Every structure is written in C-alpha cells, then in structure tokens.
Amino acid sequence: MEGPDFAIVYSAGISGAFLQRGITTFREAADYVGRLPYGRNADKTDLATVFSDGCGTCSTKHALLKVLANENDFDGLKLMVGIFKMNHNNTPAVAGTLGKYGLDHIPEAHCYLRYNRGIFDHTFSNVQLDFVADLMEEQEIEPLQITDWKVAYHKAFINKWLAGDPQIVFSAVEIWAIREQCIRDLSV
C-alpha cells in the first residue's frame, strides 16, 4: 500500500526544520526519519529534539510526522498507539532478555501511523517490525499524548495483563524493568 505524500508548504515549526534540510515532501520526511537511529530523545515533549539528537523512538518519530501533516493541513493521517505482544519473532533483538526471564512475550506500546487503512512504521531503517498480527489493542492519539499519557496507558495495560494471567510471577514494576531492558536491547 502506498503511503501518504504531500508537498511541505508551511515554512515554520517542524515543517521549517524539514525544509532547512532540503526535505520538501512528506515521503522524503518519512524516509529521513526512518533512517535515523533508534534511540530515546533528551526531551520528547520537544519533537525538534529528533533533529538535534539525530535519533528517535517510535513515539517521537511518528509524532513528528503527524505534526508535519497537521502543519500542512493534510487530513487522514492518524497517529496510533497499539499494544502488541513483543516477542522473539516480531522483535528478535529482545529474545535474550525475554528468554532470561522465561517470558514468551511482554506487552509493548508502539506508535505508528495509519492512512487509508494501511499501517506505516518508520521506527527503524533496517528492520520492519511485524507487530500487526500480535496487536492486542490500539487507539488514535494526539502528538502530545506520547509522553505521560502513553506511559500511564502502557502501565495500566500491563496491570490488566498481569491480573488476567496469574501464572506470570513478576510484579508490574518488575515487568516494566524487563521491558526497559528490552528497549535498551533495541538501541544497540
């Protein structure tokens, strides 16, 4: 499925930052963002740190692209957060950590874009996460929700997941710590 595209015509804000880099269309912007390394940003409340840090997460990269669409009055692009079963098949880099703790999977909150029923994920340049088959739930969010709201949503889901599976011997705090190690595994 072909992804969204439009000319960047707004000259300030995030649009201006892309234009300063010679990037003039949404597809070029998505390609640029996708090529940036995966890594946490110094301040994810300021999406321009994707440029200054030279990296981004699923949240900051896709929120940045959603803001770009908003600034250019491009309708139909949705910023999504989905909870998927992160496992050794869809995220091979976390296999060692999950195996160490005897977990088949761990719920992970992942941001991506939806457009015309297609899913577009620009998190990694060299790996395409195959998370769709393992998606447990999803909802549309606004760019500002990638910070505290997303963390609270993710932690609430983990609590619900643990309550539904008494065989898991870890607490929510322990699961979050294991998840943090998985994120570090992705940043290598």
pLDDT in tens, 21-68: 999 999 999 999 999 999 999 999 999 999 999 999 999 999 999 999
Predicted confidence at residue 132, as pLDDT, reads: 87
Which residues have CB under 8 Å from 92's CB, separation 6+?
A: none
Domain positions in the chain are 13-71, 78-186
pLDDT in tens, 59-118: 999 999 999 999 999 999 999 999 999 999 999 999 999 999 999 999 999 999 999 989
pTM over 0.75: yes
Predicted confidence at residue 188, as pLDDT, reads: 61
